[in-house]
Structure 1
Amino acid sequence: MVQVVRQSLTAWLLSLTILVVSHSAQAVQPEPLPMNDDSYSLAEIRAAYLISVMRYVNWPNEEQRSELTIGVLGDENVFELLASIPLGEMRDKPIQVQLLTRNSQVAQVDLVYVGPRHSGASELILNQAMRNNVLVITEDRLVRQNMMINISADNAGAISYQINDQRINSAGLEVTSGLLQISGQELNTLAAHHRSMLEIASIQSSRQELSEQNSLLREELRQLQERISSLEQALSERDQVLRVQEGTIEEKQEVMDSQQATLNNLLSELEQQRELLFNREEQLNRIQNLLDDSERTLREQESLLETKEAQLAAKEQEGNELAQRITANRDILAAQQQQLRDQRSALTEQAALIENRERTIDRQREYLVYILIALAAASILGVLSLSLYVKKRRTATQLMDALTELHNAQDKLVESEKMAALGNLVAGVAHEVNTPLGVALTATSMLNDRREILQQNVREGRLTREQLDRFLGQSEESLSLTEKNLSRVARLISNFKQVAVDQMVTERRTIDLGNYIEEIMSALSIELKRAHIDFQIDVDGEIEMDTIPGAMAQILTNLVTNSIRHGYAAASTQGAGDSDTRGTITIRAARADADYVRLSFCDDGNGMDDATLQKIFEPFFTTKRNQGGTGLGMPIVYNLVRQQLKGDITVSSTPGQGTCFELLLPRRVRIN
């Protein structure tokens, strides 16, 4: 009986294995999504128009770009649709899409679509786009003439557009004539292509999921096979036990009954596994049918997509040919109109010439009479004019010589003012450098003396470990002190060289305003410490300027010198200790807007009355005439700000409460 069961179980396992192998190499694909070729949503039409526009627009330096980016501002539906489909490439460059949340992000993309919700900020967005070579497509029911491209869509899905070629060209972009030939059929074909791409992506995703389910089913079949093999192994072991057992008939009968019960349980379990296997087989059959239907649908979709792509290519070719014909006819018409205008102008000029000749003949007759009278008067006036001319010529020469001498004197005074400020800066730096150099020299001399003592102990053989450790410790301390002081000297000299060179050179370069102000004030800190004046610098973030650093250094130097000489002059007569502070100078800088920087220089010194405030920028006006003042410090500042830096300067002051200078400077200086 056991042999019969084993044979039947083996045959059943063999048939099951053949059945599983026959379904092990099938593919999985879901049912396709239904398509609607009759109508498209407004989001699909907008997305198709954005992609179509990029085909007819060329950006500057496009060959150097790695990709082209579409930005969507104010319409999440259009962004989600563009982000869900593979956009492919345009002129061998991949197309990316980005959702914009702020107007300032427009400079990060190549083409920006502004939805109706952001139509109020269209002017601001357009100004940013013009500076960054960005194509702007707006949507407003009230068509705006000054936009680049403005589209409007109705509830029926129809889109109309208006193009401003001058604005597009002003942004540095080039458009082809095909931009005006975009038709509704082309947009429908492209929208159908996008919808097909979405459906294919969905089918592929469902196919991947079914493949994973198929893998799980195969794993379950493998586990069932292992379970059946284990059951067969157990049955074989039971059979061997029956053969080797010995005993009475009653004992063998009991063993047989026990084995029969075990066999019945095994057969019951095998029957359950067989039913489960049949269920899995039915699932595999259903999945196979789904795969066959999906493959047929996918082939139909691919065929439809190829047909629509061919139609799109044909439409594009027709549009290009039509645009070429329109361009040729437009050139011919323009040439003919120019010829007509030239002929009309020539006729008008000939008629005017004839009329002028007739009037000239009449006037010449009258002039002959007047000339005879005028010759007599002219001879008399000529003698008088010659004598007056000689006198005026002599007077004009004397005035020009005096004016030249005045300009030369003014140039020398301005140059002497610059050199005086630079001389004070050199004297202060020399005084400040002497202290760390003296410390470094003392530390080096002391280290050399200790080295000679150590060398003598080595020659005499009296060197101990304690002496060596003490020498090393003292050497480390001396070298550290020397290094710190020499680094301070190098930093002072570096700042001084930068400020001195900038004051003598008028070339423009790019600077970080905060760092440059710190360099200038670091070089001037010696004079400020000597006058017991503190200074504070407050710069709002990093401000980069393309300006003339020499003019900037001269302005701050003259303002600091003016505060020391005039703002705190009264306090100096009262005397101040070495640790007393007479006042504080505060320098603040912040962006006024995208193109200008506001710089303020304020002190809390004596201040000025209204009479002095009105004349502060007049040349040679000074309140320290008897104390060496030239009256050229503030006029130099005014001329540097207005003429070289192309900015503006104002001053406000109250007696006893200090003075504040406000400078409005461009971030990029334009040199004529």
Structure 2
Amino acid sequence: MLWALFHKSGGKPNRMRPRFMRKCAAPLSLRNLFSTLLVWGLLLFVVPFHAQSRENFTPEELRAAYLTSVTQYVTWPNESARNTLVIGVLGTSEVYEELARAPLSEVRDMRLEVRSLSRASQLTGIDLVYVAPNASNQLNAVFNTARIRPLLVITEHNQVREDMMINLIAPSPSRLAFQVNPDRINESGLRASNDLLVLRGSELESAVQLRRTQIALAETQRERNALSAELENLRQQNNQLLNRIDILEQTVRERDSVLRAQQGTLEDKQQVMESQQSALQELLAELDEQRQLLLERETQLQEIQRTLSQSERALLEQQQQLRQKEFQLRQKQVESDELAERIATNRTVLAAQQQQLRDQRAALVEQQELLESRERTIDRQRVYLWTIGVVFLFVLVFLLTTVILFFRSRRQADQLRQTLEELHEAQDKLVESEKMAALGNLVAGVAHEVNTPLGVAITATSMVHDRLHVLDENLEQGKLSRESLKGFIERASESLSLTQKNLTRVGALITNFKQIAVDQMVAEQREIDLKVYLEEVMSTLSIELRRAGIEYDIAIPDEIKMTTIPGAMAQIITNLVTNAIRHAFTEPGGHLKLQAESIAGHQVRLTFTDNGAGMEADILNRIFDPFFTTKRNAGGTGLGMPIVYNLVRQKLKGDISVTSTPGKGTTFTLLLPKQL
């Protein structure tokens, strides 16, 4: 985990640094430097903000600047085929609004987009997500998404977790620290450059100032557009006023021509002329008002043009400042690259020196050990010369004893090997007999289950045959009536429908029996629907359960698909049901329950539960031991549970565990892979 800290200190050493950071920053000799690196095992970077900055940055500006700056030092897969990077903000609206205030600069010819998220399920299409402190309850879902696709996760939480990539810490509103885990970033499919670890406060300061300049430019552009729209509106109004003035002048000219035409009849039309003169005066007054309004609008237009010119000059000045900021930012990035190169060079030189020091120490230690070894060898040879005779005698006696014991142990080993082979053969025969017994129980259950619907079908068919004979006699004697024919048709339809239902049931039972029997005899893999297959297995065992007065329930979600060995699965369920019937229930009224659910790691958890007598601790510890049974006098072999254990662990590549409470029942839990 690599740490970096941004703070306003004017480039001076920070008194708030941790003790171990001040220790690493002190001058060290070569030996002290080597021991310090061994103790801490990490690189610490302290990057100050400039205290001379006249701006007080808000926390939202710092976070927005960091989110946009990080994209320059992290590479996403297939960037050559992309044109957009999407930043998601989860749990805070202030940072999203700060990012959305102005258009974001392009990164490696890719434009940046920002989206506001309310829950972790909206991460589709997001490349970088910032998780605010008030959204800590959604961290697990975010990290799960980052494990399956390239997603850079930037968090801000006090409790640091192993799966975090970049974690922000705010000691104060004007300070921002961050923790970087490059290994976790690379595991998610991203590539983080070394420059990410030396990201300096001056770069964030420049980024914040750049965003402020962009926001000001955007506001100025909006004001310019508004002024242009207002200027265009005033021009349209002026054109309308000019058209109105032309219409009024045309009206005045027309009225003047009418007056001149009516001068010959002045005495007769004196009253008409007075009314025309009053209308003319009104038109002249309206004309003066329109001219005055036009002058005012022209004055406003001139003021707007002056304002627009000032805005354009201010915009040019801001653009010039922006270009200067971008040039300064590029210079700082070049300085950062040079600093990273110097750090890498220093690391290489330090590693070479450390290797030389280790080689020299190893050579000295080897020489010292060689001298000590020679001295010890001389001393030992003196003792060996006096004791070698006695030791030789003891060796001869020991060799003779060893040879005698070896021949004896060899004969015993041969006897034990022969006994073990006989035991394996007996165990295989018992396993086969257990399989045939389970298949015999299956055949007996299916035969009993088939007899009932076949008996109903035969009874219904014989009744139709008798009715048909009576109908034939009535037809020959001429006693056939409409009512008797109609009654025969109705009863025959009911009998045939009952026969069809029972024969359909018989066909389904036989199909299930064939499938289960074939699965138990053939150890091949195929895909099964877990719920449907277990229902088929339990239907073949239903007759035995009904005889014992036991009910069962299957609570398995639909569409759980598994590629497994169905025969092994069927034998496991058969042995568990048989074990429950023999050992768990002494009286009718028991209940079995099968449950299953999909879990992480492409696995299925299958649970077999009964509410029977349960088991004591000593029996529970030996339940999977071969030949251990509590019903030996009742014909038990003690191989049912060992067969289940071996099938689960060896055939299905899973795991099995059992829990039991006396008087409350037993639960078997199987963890099986969805695909072998």
Both proteins in one fold, TM over 0.5: yes
Q: Which moves more between the two structures, 282-291 or 560-569? A: 560-569
The AA in structure 2 aligned to 1:660 is T
CA displacement 1:557-606 (0-9 Å, x = unmatched): 433343355556754xxxxxxxxxx6543234468899997654333456
Q: Match for 1:636 among 634, 640, 643?
A: 643
CA distance in 2, matches of 1:417, 1:245: 134
Q: Does 1:617 align with 2:631?
A: no
What secondary structure, in the 3-state scheme, does the structure 1 residue paired with 2:325 have?
helix
1:521 is aligned to: 535
* Residue 432 to residue 487, structure 1, CA distance change in 2 (3 Å): closer
Cα distance in 1 for residues equivalent to 2:430 and 2:445: 22
Q: Please say if residues 551 and 645 of structure 1, whose CA atoms lie closer than 8 Å, have aligned partners that are also in contact.
A: no
Deviations 1:482-505 (A, max 9, x none): 999989979996998599769966
CA distance in 2, matches of 1:610, 1:156: 60
Equivalents in 2 of 1:491, 1:86: separation in Å?
69
CA spacing shift, 1:343–1:43, aligned 2, 3 Å? same
CA-CA distance at 1:191 after TM superposition: 0.9
Residue 503 of structure 1 contacts residue 549 of structure 1 at CA under 8 Å; is this kept in 2?
no
Query: Could you tell me which of 407, 414, 421 is aligned with 2:424?
Result: 407
Question: What secondary structure is seen at the aligned counterpart in 2 of 1:602?
Answer: strand
Partner of 1:11: none
Q: How far 1:338 moved relative to its partner?
A: 0.4
Q: CA deviation at 1:309?
A: 1.1
1:389 aligns with 2:406: yes
Q: Aligned in 2, Cα 1:154/1:600: closer, same or farther, shift over 3 Å? A: closer
SS in 2 for 1:316: helix
The one-character-per-residue Cα deviations of 1:455-506 (angstroms, maximum 9, x if unpaired) are: xxxxxxxxxxxxxxxxxxx9xxx99x99999899799969985997699668
Distance of 2:83 and 2:561 partners within structure 1: 28
Q: 1:157 to 1:607 in 2, by over 3 A?
A: closer
Q: 1:91 to 1:394 in 2, by over 3 A?
A: farther
Aligned counterpart, 2:40? none
Q: What residue identity is the alignment partner of 1:637?
A: V
The answer to whether structure 1 residue 205 and structure 2 residue 219 are counterparts is no
3-state SS of 1:279 partner: helix
Say which SS state the counterpart of residue 663 (structure 1) adopts.
strand
Task: Out of 138-147 and 312-321, give the one that drifted further.
Answer: 138-147
Q: Which amino acid aligns with 1:287?
A: I
Whole-Å Cα distance in 1 between the matches of residues 572 and 110 of structure 2?
50
Question: 5 Å matches for 1:20-39?
Answer: 38-39=55-56
Determine the C-alpha separation between the residues in 1 that align with 2:583 and 2:417: 37
Gaps of 5+ in 1: 1-35, 447-473, 572-581
Matches within 5 A, 1:270-349: 270-349=287-366
Deviations along 1:423-453, whole A, 9 cap, x unmatched? 76688789989979x99xx99xx9xxxxxxx
Q: CA offsets, 1:504-539, max 9 Å, x none? A: 668799x9xxx6234322443232266435543445
- How do 1:173-572 and structure 2 match up within 5 A? 174-221=191-238, 223-224=240-241, 250-411=267-428, 413-414=430-431, 417=434, 421=438, 516-528=530-542, 531-532=545-546, 534-538=551-555, 555-567=572-584, 570-571=587-588
RCO higher in 1 or 2 (8 Å CA, sep ≥ 6)?
Answer: 1
586-595 or 43-52, which deviates more: 586-595
Q: Deviations over 1:65-113 (max 9, x none)?
A: 7754545456543332123332333334443445555688889855554
User: How far, CA to CA, are the matches of 2:534 and 2:299 in structure 1?
Assistant: 87
> For the residues of structure 2 that align with 1:154 and 1:605, how far apart are their CA atoms?
60
Alpha-carbon distance, 1:375 to partner: 3.4
Contact preservation (8 Å) 2:73, 2:192: yes
* 1:188-239 deviation line (CA, Å, top 9, x unaligned): 2111111112122222333333344345445545554665566577668768
1:649 aligns with 2:663: no
Q: Which blocks of at least 5 consecutive residues in structure 2 are unaligned? A: 1-52, 465-491
Cα-Cα RMSD? 5.3
Q: Distance in 1 between matches of 2:180 and 2:534?
A: 52
Q: Deviations over 1:30-83 (max 9, x none)?
A: xxxxxx974432322232233323322345676687754545456543332123
Contact kept, 8 Å, 1:107 with 1:134, in 2: the verdict is no
Going from structure 1 to structure 2, the CA distance change for 1:618 and 1:276 (only over 3 Å counts) comes to same
Conserved 8 A contact 1:414-1:632:
yes
The one-letter code of the counterpart of 2:659 is: V
Shift of 1:373: 3.0
What is the alpha-carbon distance in structure 2 between the residues aligned to residue 391 and residue 64 of structure 1?
77
Pick one of 658, 667, 671 that aligns with 1:661.
667
Secondary structure in 2 matching 1:651: strand
Stretch moving more, 201-210 or 587-596: 587-596
Q: Which amino acid aligns with 1:663?
A: T
Query: Residue 43 of structure 1 corresponds to which residue in structure 2?
Result: 60
Shift of 1:397: 1.6
C-alpha separation between the residues in 1 aligned to 2:86 and 2:149? 13
Q: After the TM superposition, which of the residue ranges 40-49 and 113-122 deviates more from structure 2?
A: 113-122
Q: Please report how far the alpha carbon of residue 139 of structure 1 lies from its aligned counterpart in structure 2 after TM superposition.
A: 5.1
The answer to which of 362-371 and 93-102 deviates more is: 93-102
Q: 1:499 to 1:179 in 2, by over 3 A?
A: farther
Q: Tell me, in whole angstroms, the C-alpha distance in 2 between the residues paired with 1:484 and 1:65.
A: 64
Matched, 1:585 2:623: no
Kindly indicate whether the alpha-carbon contact (under 8 Å) linking 1:59 and 1:174 is maintained by their aligned counterparts in 2: yes
CA change 1:612–1:142 in 2 (3 A) is closer
Q: Distance in 2 between matches of 1:409 and 1:607?
A: 30
Alignment-derived partner of residue 467 in structure 1: none
8 Å contact 1:106–1:129 — kept in the other structure? no
Q: Is the 8 A contact 1:74 1:117 kept in 2?
A: yes
Question: Percent of pairs identical after alignment?
Answer: 46
Pick closer, same or farther for the CA change 1:602–1:38 going to 2, 3 Å. closer
1:141-161 CA distance string (max 9 Å, x none) = 899999755555565834455
How far residue 257 of structure 1 moved from its aligned partner, in angstroms, is: 3.5
